[in-house]
Amino acid sequence: MKAKYSNFLNTGLTLVLILLVIVPTFYFLGVFGGGEGHTFQEYRYSFGNLNTSKRFDAGDFDKHLEGKVSLGVINEPLTILVDLRELVDLSEDSQYFIEFSNSDIREATMYFVDSQGNYRLAGKSGTMLSEENEFRSPNLYFQLSADAIKSDHLVFEIHSVMPVEFSINAYEDRVFLENNSKRTIIISVYAGIMVALFLYNLILFFSILDKVYLFYCFYILFIGLAQLSLSGYSFFILGQNAYLYEISMVGFTALSSIFVIPFFQLFLKTSVYVPRVAKYLYVIVVFYFVAFFLRMLGLVEMSYSIVDVSGLLLVIAFFSIGGYVASKGDRSAYFFLLAWSFLLVGLVVLILNNQGVIDLGAYANLPMLSGTAIEALLLSFALADKINLLKKEKEREQHDKLEALKENERLIKEQNVYLEDMVKSRTMELEQTLKNLKDTQTQLVNQEKMASLGQLTAGIAHEINNPINFVSSNISPLKRDIKDILELMDLYREKGEQEFSASSKSEVKDLEEDLELDYLLDEVNQLLAGMEDGAKRTVEIVRGLKLFSRIDEQDVKEVDIHDGLESTLILLNSSMAGRIAVHKEYSELPQVECLAGKINQVFMNIISNAIHALLDHPIEGRSPQLTLKTKPAGDHVIIEIGDNGPGMPEQIREKIFEPFFTTKPVGKGTGLGLSIVYTIIENHKGTIVVESAPDRGTNFIITLPIKQN
């Protein structure tokens, strides 16, 4: 019962970690992506090539659809008519984009109908026209010209060999570009997670030589590529080859099945639990490759039908066998079922979006990306958990060997009672051998304990943020509760003076004196104040680290410059040690587009140099002082970082941005700090100026553009 409870606890903790890291990342990127657009609700369409030489007649489009277009595989061109009058707030002063929620249409041409009823070409897009894809968007899109905005109707001629299923959306240019950027970030995060898990498990395979890690890392690779194909991004990976991209959706899925089934068999030990059933799982692999072969022959609809059936069979088989293995108490089965549950939830949400029950807009693939990423992480945790189980088994095996050695030693000693005179020298050799073996076993046990202790310490360090938040948030309620208790105790004392007998009052008074009640109350207040101060300082340090350390942010984004300055001061607080006064003159600033981690590096290098100058070269009669100023200046912001230290002569000031130039002693500095600062500011299209003179301090003036256009 205790082991079973431990399994559920470990699974729950893993789930919480996933929800705290992966889900919020994708949620915020998706929900706060780029704003809303307009989805066309009514379509009129017909089949066949569009005759653009004749005048527009709405009656030529004799079929009608509401909601999402879903026509399956079509063998002839499709023409779609949309009514621009649905966009009641369309402004001729704005730029607009029309986007199809589909990434595998080979060629699409957009026309608008002018005031005389003539068709006017407005743009082309599609996988066969990759040169038209200026923004490298996976979906088809067209930019509306000023003439097209004045029109009442748009007509699209579509050529596709894939199932035709899409919705048509209209966005302002800002919203379209933001959506495209956020989708790229989501895909980048997803790809980063999958590549990291692939490399992590590949390294584990070469370290442990267990085939389960090899099968799993290649399953991660191909299921990740399959999701990139479904999202449209593998088109760019495959050299923008339309044919390779179209078959990759089935091809990568088929390749993933080659590795997922042997991984599943090894991971859940199906040869032990269900030996007769597990071997038939390879039939599903055959189905997938039959689907891939049919897709290469051009039988698209049949191919996709077989893929759907194969996927359904795979889900049913995995959940059935996984549930049976879990019922036998196998710990790995709980991880597996939980991981595939996330994948199944993502699939269900995607289906609901495709059916129009819910609307995820530009982020329709987000559920499957989240589901596969969480599934991959959970299964990686499960594989790591297997390593821990193997370590425990190894420890038990070593313990059994040690016990066996002790038993052998006991038997040898009993025999020595009868044979001591005859085999004395031999007995000494055996005892020495046994001692060496025992020492070796003890060393191995200690090594395993130290390894476990290292993992435990790393986990505690990683999780310190959560408990310190618990402590910080509970101190105020604790102070309030203690205050209420003290008020109640004061009431008891007051009423006791009125109600207690003389002997009771005397007894209470003696107890108060024995306990030193007044001192005790003061000590409680001091302890609470100390706890509150320590918690606040710890929270401040953790917050500073989180704000400052933005190494994974490789894209330009809007940041608060003041947050960067404050986090840098927090990290350098120990260096100043209360010996430097910091004066802040902050003005209200807009959000600035920049690489936050790089700008924080600029602040760190400049402020760190100022601290060294103030503390290493103190000026008698002058208190060390650091000044931080910010102010807006049109479409730029200005940040000034100054000190009242020894300053620099002109010949040194002119060289400080040169690589490897330093005034510090050998071993104290590389001379690269300010050179890096200059490069970062230059890459941000900003400027940096130094004002300094001997005994008059140094002032760095940084100018950054608000927008990185």
Which tens digits make up the pLDDT trace of 544-573? 555 445 444 567 888 899 988 887 887 788
Q: Residue 318's closest CA among 297, 294, 341?
A: 341
Q: Verify that 262 and 357 share a domain, yes or no.
A: yes
User: Cβ distance 310 to 291 under 8 Å?
Assistant: yes
Domain endpoint, select from 339, 357, 387? 387
In terms of domains, do 138 and 234 share one?
A: no
Q: Per the domain annotation, does 152 fall within a domain?
A: yes
Asked if 613 and 692 sit in the same domain, the reply is: yes
Residue 338: inside a domain: yes
What average pLDDT is seen over the chain? 76
Q: Which of these three, 356, 387, 418, is where a domain ends?
A: 387
**pLDDT recorded at residue 630:** 94
**Where among 363, 387, 411 does a domain terminate?**
387
Establish if 392 belongs to a structural domain.
no
Are 576 and 532 part of one and the same domain? Answer: no
Each residue's pLDDT tens digit, 267-294: 778 888 888 877 788 888 888 888 889 8
Classify residue 699: in a domain, yes or no: yes
Q: Do 110 and 124 fall into the same domain? A: yes
Beta bridge partners of 239: none
Read out DSSP for 48-108?
S---TTSPP-GGG--EEEESSEEEE--SS-EEEEEEGGG-TT--TTS-EEEEES-S--SEE
Q: Does 609 share its domain with 682? A: yes
Residue 382 and residue 263 share a domain: yes
CATH number of the domain residue 575 falls in: 3.30.565.10
- On whether both 527 and 565 belong to a single domain, the answer is no
- For residue 362, being part of any structural domain is answered with yes
642, part of any domain: yes
Intervals of the chain under pLDDT 50: 1-23, 25-35, 439, 442-462, 547-548, 550-552
Q: What is the dihedral of CA 242, 243, 244, 247, to 10 degrees?
A: 120
Note whether 75 and 14 are same-domain residues.
no
Statement to judge: residues 600 and 515 lie in one domain: no
CA dist 219 and 240 (Å) reads: 24
Beta bridge partners of 171: 97
Structure tokens at 55: 């005048």
Note the pLDDT of residue 542. 59
CATH code of 100's domain: 2.60.40.2380
In a domain, residue 653? The reply is: yes
Cβ-contact 132, 124 below 8 angstroms:
yes
Query: Looking at the structure, do residues 560 and 700 belong to the same domain, yes or no?
Result: yes
Domain limits for position 538 = 465-545
Q: Judge if 117 and 234 occupy the same domain.
A: no
660 occurs within a structural domain: yes
Number of domains observed in the structure of the chain: 4
